[in-house]
Structure 1
Amino acid sequence: MSNISDIIEQYIKQILKSGNAGFVDVKRSELADRFQCVPSQINYVISTRFTFQKGYIVESKRGGGGFIRIRKVELDPDCTLYQAVVKLIGSQITQREAEGIIERLLEEEIITDREARMLEAAVHRDVLQAAIPERDRLRANLLIAMIRAILKG
């Protein structure tokens, strides 16, 4: 059984897919009413499930007619896929950000489910036992190397 966050995420993704605009405007209070949850639950879903690493840009307009715009970001056509992913990873990356990139690669069917599980296992904080700044640099280097092997192999 899915939890409320999963249901809200799937609902927003379905709206994004069905529209032609490439974005969706949502009102936090309307979503909260629809799913009978508190507005902070909507904030949580948007801030954790619709991140840049997962391929989204979130903009908000405050005030009486305020809304949250969620836009699906397409990869830069001037870059190779590998270059785009390396740019997303940067010189250091947290476990959550790495998982977001892996999830996006899986959703875009660039990697298999097995490859995703292997990448996640290799970049997990329990495996990379180092102090945080060094761990995030090591995770970035490792993730870039493994993605290079998958995409260029």
Structure 2
Amino acid sequence: MNNPNMTDIIEAYLKKVLQQKEQVEIRRNEIAELFDCVPSQINYVINTRFTIQRGYLVESKRGGGGYIRIMKVQVLDELDLLDTMIEVIGLTISEADAKSVVQNLYDEEIISKREAKLMLVAMDQSLYTGERFTDNRIRANLLRTMLANLRYEEPNQRKAD
């Protein structure tokens, strides 16, 4: 049986709160106390699990009355999300971030399970040169091209899973 690590537990907690509200406002030290961990653990969870690639916006205010606000991005329509993801990808993207983009598109029902599987295969590091900068540029070009092509597909022409 797999025991979730602290990062997974904190992520699950924050996502559960986000299911009940459009946004969550937390104080890093309070959450660290709640989970009996160091505040940097909270930073790690937010920086790796609540990214724009995964469909979240994060705002923070430092200082005594500081907070961290996490919001689930509200997608107006498919084209809006595709355009946002194309912009987020930029000129380079890591394998992990590319996979997060694909997962987000699947979660938002923009792509089918089959399309997601194919896109994930194309993002897999085993297909690339092993030179990180070059690989990240090629991966970004490929993913941006895929998403741009999805912009012109009729949504009702896709087969259901």
TM-score range for the pair, normalised by the shorter chain length: 0.7 to 0.9
Corresponding position of 2:11: 9
Corresponding position of 1:82: 82
TM-score where L is the length of structure 1: 0.81
Alpha-carbon distance, 1:48 to partner = 0.1
Contact kept in structure 1, 2:58 and 2:69, CA below 8 Å: yes
Which 5+ residue runs of structure 1 have no aligned equivalent?
none
Counterpart-to-counterpart distance in 2, 1:2 and 1:113 = 25
Which amino acid counterpart does residue 68 of structure 2 have in structure 1? I
Against the structure 1 CA distance between its residues 82 and 28, is the aligned structure 2 distance closer, same or farther, given a 3 Å change threshold? Answer: closer
Counterpart-to-counterpart distance in 2, 1:65 and 1:125 = 43
Contact kept in structure 2, 1:76 and 1:84, CA below 8 Å: no
Alpha-carbon distance, 1:18 to partner = 0.3
44-53 or 72-81: which moved more?
72-81
Which 5+ residue runs of structure 2 have no aligned equivalent?
none
Corresponding position of 1:58: 58
Contact kept in structure 1, 2:24 and 2:71, CA below 8 Å: yes
Corresponding position of 1:47: 47
Counterpart-to-counterpart distance in 1, 2:76 and 2:89 = 15
CA RMSD across the alignment: 2.5
Alpha-carbon distance, 1:123 to partner = 1.0
138-147 or 43-52: which moved more?
138-147
Counterpart-to-counterpart distance in 2, 1:77 and 1:118 = 23
Which amino acid counterpart does residue 94 of structure 2 have in structure 1? T
Helix, strand or coil for the counterpart of 2:124?
coil
Count of paired positions: 151
Alpha-carbon distance, 1:54 to partner = 1.2
Matches for 1:1-153 after TM superposition, within 5 Å: 1-19=3-21, 22-77=22-77, 79-129=79-129, 131-147=131-147, 152=153
TM-score where L is the length of structure 2: 0.78
Counterpart-to-counterpart distance in 2, 1:142 and 1:134 = 12
Q: Kindly provide the CA deviation profile for residues 90-136 of structure 1, in whole angstroms up to 9, marking residues without a partner as x.
A: 33322222122122123223334554343223212221115333222
Alpha-carbon distance, 1:147 to partner = 4.2
Helix, strand or coil for the counterpart of 2:65?
coil
Alpha-carbon distance, 1:139 to partner = 0.5
Helix, strand or coil for the counterpart of 1:110?
coil
Which amino acid counterpart does residue 13 of structure 1 have in structure 2? K
Contact kept in structure 1, 2:58 and 2:71, CA below 8 Å: yes
Helix, strand or coil for the counterpart of 1:126?
helix
